[in-house]
Chain A
């Protein structure tokens, strides 16, 4: 309507369609017009009002009402936004969490806003790194100046502080929170990766972003080749004598400044320090892995293919450091540098991949941290040979990153020995991914060896059994997150028919038996464990209780299972357990199973070899399930809704008895029931 007359307001000139920065006009003329803003708020009224206000400020506005959606937008279009405005209280994701994600992954300025003006909340916004905090109702005057945050951020980057800042920030983060090191380092890792990738993109688009590019200095991207040159120069000079100036001369790269080299050297030194400090602490190992990842691969793009190559090439990183890592991790003299390299690569690969896979998931960070932990756990228990096998296979399956991850979580759980051990998703991922065919054999061995010694307590034994097959018990929450994440990631996976019909299980059991025959080690390892379970009745109640939880969970969760039977039982069991674990933190057994199962299901879809792999875990899970089912009756208080389980239980039990005879068919790898400590 025409607001003339008494209208005292001078409306702004109608924005002539979105003023793109590519207009070619001078920077000062158009900017801040065309600033690309992403607004996130679950309140549609606020969203509408904000959008209108921002449009009045001549900004390009994208609005969305869910944080997950916002993250997707940001990830899909890495350089599509200049600033993010987010509400604090949102139903699907906390605003501060979104703030963290955006800051780490995209390094964009984020403005928080809320109707809540309490000092605590505002302080929280500041400590989480928000560049500003607006109180609702937001006035247009407040929005007119948000471009200052974009300029400020670019100015800081321009000064070259960013490289060192991120490095120090990451280090700082890693040092500040030892228990959450993995999580932070993984998130920092992600951030680093994303940052480096973003920088690359920014460099590419430097011309297009003339109006703001003058505020941004093209950053040095430490590509793999560049880093290789750097490492060669450092090794040539000797670590002690490596000074930036000399390194620069040796590298002989045009456009590289002494400052770039200096900051990179600093990061590299930190990485090495971490590696040497790893031998005593597994956590340290985690850090080391993440640290090197940061330093080494921070500049690498996060593409899977490139990562693989990069990892492979970066595997050339000081063999000594890798060897040190390996020695520390495995507790053995590492005479296999090629092996460690792929291991590290794979870990990095997976840790990087996992964030990508799990974007938009709250447990993203958790997963990464879990993965890192898994990596730790695995080396301690794994034999280098097996690791090598795993890694080699992993490398060959570069395309199956996601699957690998799921699988690796499984294998990770398999490899972890102790119930209290940290989740070893990363390692599992590596193992899973890489090798579909070699995994069963490799897993079988570690499982057996691990299961035996650890089965001191009945519970432990049970756990170990599971661990053997499923990669043991790590922290429930992490495993759960992992499995859950996988669940969300692979909705279409052919989950085996589950739930309430005993028939699929029966058939799957039949299949399992066949698979058992084909896949020697894993099932074998499992079978003896199974018997062990029976012998350890006293601890059943607790374990079963946990398991029943899991089964219930599985049933409810997998209503859309189809196809691969072998996967289903394991999935059900595992997921159920993982859910249990969440609720009952004392139970760690299911977790490993859950991750394992989840990984299995995923793998099943991928390829035949994967399916074989899956089947073995499935076998195990089925067996475990069967074991558990009988106990369900005892534990009815926990899960009254597990009606269908009884049928499954009886079916499984029958199957188990049948499969008991199968045991004798397979030669155990030095694993005998008699040897099991009871």
Chain B
């Protein structure tokens, strides 16, 4: 069928580009291979769980880097001191924060989150996300708060990118199936860009 053929071609082109740009790697192909008649929605399942978990993980990550800041303000507000006192306290806390941010942030915890994210992203084949996580982990080890924050943003960015791509890919697969065709499984393509 012409439609199916076209859809399939589009699919192949798209997934090839994803491999080429390292959004996905060979692990994704492994996932596809695992899918069979007994579990026809396996890839969709795994990918959805990945999305959910990652959102949560990223939130935890972000908050663990920011925890130091919020607590101080909350504490101050709770005390309800006089206005002047509040101003003074704010100022002091601000200074204290600047000084102590390095110590207050629990880099070990952040590292734990990043490690977990690295594991799950590598399991689905999200290569760029995984690489960003590796760099972020290095910053955590160096206790470089600035670097951590920057790279956390990068990790987030990469995640949303790959999420987008994967959603598109899965949608295309659905279209092919609905048109009555079969999804082409690319065995050879990843090998070309295998690291």
Interface residues of A (CB under 8 A from B): 1-9, 11, 14, 42-46, 48-49, 52-53, 56, 87, 89, 114-116, 136-140
Contacts and interface: CB of A to CB of B under 8 A. Distances in A.
B118 to A, nearest CB: 5
B27 A137 contact: yes
Interface string B87-127: 00000000000000000000000001001101110111100
Contact of A45 (B33, B34, B53, B182): B53
A115 B182 contact: no
B177 interface: yes
A140 B30 contact: yes
Interface stretch (B36-44, B64-72, B78-86, B148-156): B36-44
**A-B residue pairs, 7 tightest by C-beta:** A115-B119, A8-B187, A6-B184, A137-B122, A45-B120, A137-B27, A52-B34
B183 interface: yes
B177 A45 contact: no
Given A52-B42, A56-B34, A115 B184 contact: no
A138 B119 CA distance: 10
A48 B46 contact: yes
Given A6-B186, A45-B53, A137-B27, 7 more contacts: A3-B182, A14-B37, A42-B116, A44-B49, A115-B118, A138-B123, A140-B33
B30 A2 contact: no
A87 B115 CA distance: 12
A6 B185 contact: yes
Contacts of A7: 182, 184-185, 187
B50 interface: yes
A45 B49 contact: yes
Contacts, number: 90
Nearest to A7: B185
A1 B119 contact: no
Contacts of B34: 49, 52-53, 56, 140
Interface in B17-64: 27, 30-31, 33-40, 42, 45-46, 49-50, 53
B115 A116 contact: yes
B164 interface: no
A5 B46 contact: no
B187 A46 contact: no
B120 A9 contact: no
A43 B177 contact: no
Secondary structure dominating the interface of A: loop
A41 to B, nearest CB: 9
Contact of A89 (B116, B125, B188): B116
A116 B118 CA distance: 9
- Max chain B CB contacts within 10 Å: which of A7, A9, A45, A115? A45
Contacts of B39: 52
A115 B122 contact: yes
Given A1-B35, A45-B49, A139-B30, A8 B123 contact: no
Contacts of A87: 119
Contacts of A46: 119-120, 123
A44 B120 CA distance: 8
B123 A4 contact: no
A45 B30 contact: no
A374 B176 CA distance: 71
B153 to A, nearest CB: 21
Contact of B49 (A48, A53, A115): A48
21 contacts: A1-B35, A2-B182, A3-B183, A6-B185, A7-B182, A7-B187, A8-B187, A8-B188, A14-B36, A14-B38, A48-B45, A48-B46, A48-B49, A49-B124, A52-B39, A114-B119, A115-B115, A115-B118, A137-B123, A140-B30, A140-B34
Contacts of B40: 1
A8 B115 CA distance: 34
Contacts of A6: 182, 184-186
Contact of A43 (B45, B120, B183, B186): B120
A49 B184 contact: no
A23 to B, nearest CB: 21
A89 B33 CA distance: 27
Contacts of B183: 1, 3
A251 to B, nearest CB: 55
B123 A49 contact: yes
A271 to B, nearest CB: 43
B16 to A, nearest CB: 13
Contacts of A136: 119, 122-123
Nearest to A8: B187
A138 B185 CA distance: 20
B33 A43 contact: no
A441 to B, nearest CB: 51
- Max chain A CB contacts within 10 Å: which of B34, B124, B183? B34
A114 B118 CA distance: 10
A43 B123 contact: yes
A14 B27 CA distance: 22
A6 B119 CA distance: 31
B194 to A, nearest CB: 12
B42 to A, nearest CB: 6
B159 to A, nearest CB: 13
A389 B36 CA distance: 68
Nearest to B25: A137
Given A52-B42, A53-B34, A56-B34, A45 B123 contact: yes
Given A6-B185, A49-B123, A44 B36 contact: no
A2 B112 CA distance: 40
A43 B185 CA distance: 27
Contacts of A43: 53, 116, 119-120, 123
Nearest to A2: B182
Nearest to A41: B119
A9 B27 contact: no
Contact of A5 (B38, B119, B184): B184
Contacts of A14: 36-38
Given A1-B177, A9-B187, A52-B42, A44 B53 contact: yes
- Max chain A CB contacts within 10 Å: which of B35, B119, B182? B119
B155 to A, nearest CB: 14
Nearest to B48: A45
- Max chain B CB contacts within 10 Å: which of A3, A5, A14, A114? A3
